[in-house]
Amino acid sequence: MEKRDLGTQPLDAMMTAWGMNNNEMVDVSTEQLTHKQVQRARNGRRLSLKMMQKVNRAFNVTIWFKLSDEQKETYFEYMHKHLFNYAKGFDADFVDPNEALRKAIVAPSEEA
């Protein structure tokens, strides 16, 4: 039997780094994503591929709405393999290509 509880996921750290909370993702999602689903995704409950993709889309769209038109052109869209450590193709050494963009978005709002 497969382990269902896989510990805190990279999604949790990335949401924190981007200054996001569960409520923002639920509000942005057009796919009826619930708070419980987002919380399970963050805490490491094993999700189906469809659910990982649903969470992934909501994550990307939430960030997308924070970006200016110029920033949207350079934004790298995350895939589920970047957000979940049990996803096929997960790379523990993944370097976030949006690091500079994230700092530009999050830093000004933290200063206020």
| Cα 13 to Cα 60: distance, rounded to the nearest angstrom | 15
Single-letter code of the amino acid located at 109? S
Q: Which residue has the higher pLDDT, 111 or 103?
A: 103
Name the 3-class secondary structure at 5.
Answer: strand
Mean pLDDT for 29-47 is: 94
Quote the percentage of the chain above a pLDDT of 70: 94
What's the token pair of residue 92? 């523990």
pLDDT over 90 (residue 26)? yes
Alpha helices in the chain (DSSP H): 10-17, 22-28, 35-43, 49-64, 69-74, 80-83, 99-111
Number of residues assigned to the chain: 112
Taking a C-beta distance cutoff of 8 angstroms, is the pair 56, 48 a contact? Answer: no
pLDDT over 60 (residue 87)? yes
Which pLDDT does position 3 carry in this prediction? 76
